[in-house]
Structure 1
């Protein structure tokens, strides 16, 4: 009895005197109200924010303080469109030379780079090892952002996600290369169930052609509305949302009518598609930096095959204008960059391109926090610095409302209460 009482008192004392961390913020971005707050204190205990206070609260001797008085603090940023397991490279032979283990080892650096850039959460929209990477990060085996992944994408035959495009006939019939290709309602339903079985958090489909695949057209529709609806309905049954790669207007409209959660890219979006997206509450994830990056790479001789270079030059130059059109019309915007199409760690440049297109920087940051967490379905835990939220907190050196480029000067990164980058 005496031993039990002693154990209880020891446990109580650990709870009662658990160390808190007081983070002093010179400026704090209120992402919910898109305002800047001066001289604030965030109180963190373990992995949660337990209070946000005006002024610089005096900590006890037992507690820890982090001085960010010279910086602008905000919630951990969220990139809703990345490919954490690869990065742009002109060597087309890599796909035939790398085993999954090689790809996974490369992902270790990409993951760390992304986190150190201030992106504490990402939505991975297609990769061969992204589920394993997510699991390794969650187990603490590697350093990286919180990952929500679609695993392998779902594509139609000859579509953007068909890895056999442009290959000789015998290679086209390799089953592994066709594992993400479906046709007809039944195969669409089965593919969603398979992704669930494999451990995906969400579904990614391609309702139009793309830029970096060896198909001749990046804009044509590639799934019927009936097929997309089957995917969306099945995904909903399994508690998953659907992200849809779409450049062409018809493919966008079919996907939106069928109920996808987001349209990725949206290059040729038209007024009808915009009206449908507003009606359905569909998010637009613009990926402007991806368009600019592939257009720049297309200028380098031999970087892309001619068929890709032509599409990159055309499509890449239109994405920023498409974003401006949908944003100004009132479509919901979530921040996403298509990281991997360009070098990981430069995600912040999307903020610059978004402001160039007319979105104020605080709204851009809201798109990368509040809106992004809503799109993923994690608003209860992420997106704002509020009592009860997870302690994902970052800081930049400067005032982004005066110079958007300071979004690339990340000096402090905390994810889940753990500091990964510090000013000291």
Structure 2
């Protein structure tokens, strides 16, 4: 959701204002922001855009919905601290993320801990903190309750369900078929009976079917099937669920042919789902967790052109950035086909695109390609390249140690 334009001299691109020849991030023209950061490359996250995105979700989605932030999308402490005041809960995937969330002041009872392979010491930390653990396997349940008995605290548990449906059309399918995530739906009744035998507080269900979905009909179908599944499984539960988390899955448009998700349409479907849940499971609250959708479009990655070279007719802009900072932009973070993220010369916004150029990093590998043959103004050494849609799965999802260049700076502005 774009911020309202209050200055008629400003235009916007991917939600960010443009003033003269410079992109504006967090109210600062890009060169001024770069000077304030003091180094390139860097990630910058716009707190205003984060606030607006959560406000849009509150406006379009049903009242009473439990909105959680999936910390794995962007675990920068300043981002977590800002969002902790805006969302209802947070989902973490490690003890490291848990520590950041607790440091930000999030109520532990509104924190969930998901993901396979939780170590015994991580489960002990979760129990001691009072967060809800999403059980990913029968063995994990046994380790959790053993650690809880040692501490003397009954653990809060939810069951992460690997659904018995498989929806095509999401960017990444996280459920259905054989998966390392969650417990197969047909095995859940037995696990619920085991929870009833143990000293554990049953909180609810978590059905995470996929991510990066841009079609409202797909999201609605997945959520409806998730609730159908939960209603069947509740018959075996040790008590009524407090929370029914139907995952997230909301996508953002990364590429030229992608269309933005019509949030109002999604909201209409979720309103009907919320009404159904209120009727059939009146003690349960409907919940979703979103990471990419909240932070993805609020962040940019900025690197500096350090060399301009021509090889057999192709222009390469060699930057001080690369895949060691932004693996996803190079297409090496699980994408099947490599496509360019939106990219601009953030210090030549008033100039026309007159040349086909490829933006590459400083690493000794041909896959260090940030943008392949894009139309840009003619770039020179010192220009700042900006890659949009970089707020999620950027810095923390990249191999900073490769070739010893180190990691990028991060700022919330």
Q: TM-score range by the shorter chain?
A: 0.3 to 0.5
Higher relative helix content = 1
Q: TM-score, normalised by structure 1?
A: 0.35
Higher relative strand content = 2
Q: TM-score, normalised by structure 2?
A: 0.35
